[in-house]
Amino acid sequence: MAERVTVTVDDRRLRLSNLDKVLYPSTGTTKAAVIDYYTRVADVMLPHLRDRPLTMVRYPDGVEGDHFFEKRCPPHHPDWLPTVDLGRIGRDKVVAHCDLRERAALVWAANLAALELHVPMGRAPDPHRPTMVVFDLDPGPPAGIVESCVVAGWLFEVFDRLGLEAFAKTSGSKGLQVYVPVNSDDTTYDETKEFARSVGRLLERVHPDLVLTSMDRSARTGKVFVDWSQNVPLKTTVAVYSLRARDTPTVSTPVTRDEVETAARRDTVLAFTADEVLLRIDEQGDLFAPTLTLEQQLPALGTS
């Protein structure tokens, strides 16, 4: 029988199990270490998770074992953990997703070996209304993080001309994501998707040797795919500060524009482990905090 311990997290009692199980074999990182990371990062991570329909990616046997996506909040979730309903408009099927609002909820999810936490751009009470536009930069080998940073730099230049502020984070894997917060009650997913597609195609026309917006996977070799299609209600991107299920416990980490531009010159590598992220937070705070409140109006760029 798996060893279980009872802990108290901010007045919530939780039963934890298999704390010695190694989830990242190459580094010997155990479930206890994963829980410790999520406990310590909670203060800055929770505002970015709260009210968003969560998708957990669970690795019960670690990153080298099988995994599965869990959208529906498990029936055994604590009675104090709320849910957010999300479904297709006009369809009967609605899924109740977990809503992680407090530190104990993060610990509970980590105990399920939910290494990765993914969220959409929408947030309750209206998850069909986006709060941000995301540009998911996915490099096709041999392109990598350097090339993604080059494209991100071009995105920043476009946004400068449009009078928009944008914020970047690593995917924690091989790519980069750039977000334009809107936080407006009247912005729709149709508008954010079209804006992302138009900007992506603009870069593709100017830099055809590196930028791609086509969904054709066979065309991605050596290019950076600007995935504009993530801007729909039911699609998600990895949450800021989430671990990734890679060989090492890397994290989707907010980075500054200077860091992106330096990495584009191959002067540094944008990859951060859990321990490094906690140090960055101590030194810099939450670089992604402005995405929660900054209100911006997207310009009409026309169809592309």
Q: What are the chain's domains? A: 4-127 (3.90.920.10), 128-292 (3.30.70.3300)
How far apart are the C-alpha atoms of 254 and 288, rounded to whole Å? 6
So what's the pLDDT on residue 89? 56
Three-class SS state of 254: strand
So what's the pLDDT on residue 226? 97
Residue partners of 97: CB distance under 8 A and separation at least 6: 53, 54, 55, 71, 72, 73, 83, 84, 85, 86
Contact between 17 and 4 under an 8 Å Cβ cutoff? The reply is yes
| DSSP result, 83-133 | EEEEE-TT-S-EEEEE---SHHHHHHHHHTTEEEEEE-SEETTEEEEESEE
SS3 content of the chain, % helix, strand, coil (to 5): 30, 25, 45
How far apart are the C-alpha atoms of 279 and 196, rounded to whole Å? 33
Compute how many other C-beta atoms are within 10 angstroms of the C-beta atom of residue 140: 18
So what's the pLDDT on residue 90? 55
Contact between 134 and 121 under an 8 Å Cβ cutoff? The reply is yes
pLDDT tens digit at each of 304 positions of the chain? 468 999 999 999 999 999 999 999 999 999 999 999 999 999 999 999 999 999 999 999 999 999 999 999 999 999 999 999 998 655 568 899 999 999 999 999 999 999 999 999 999 999 999 999 999 999 999 999 999 999 999 999 999 999 999 999 999 988 999 999 999 999 999 999 999 999 999 999 999 999 999 988 888 899 999 999 999 999 999 999 999 999 999 999 999 999 999 999 988 889 999 999 999 999 999 999 999 999 999 998 855 4
So what's the pLDDT on residue 215? 87
So what's the pLDDT on residue 93? 82
So what's the pLDDT on residue 304? 45
So what's the pLDDT on residue 124? 93
Which single residue is written with the structure tokens 């911006």? 296
So what's the pLDDT on residue 195? 98
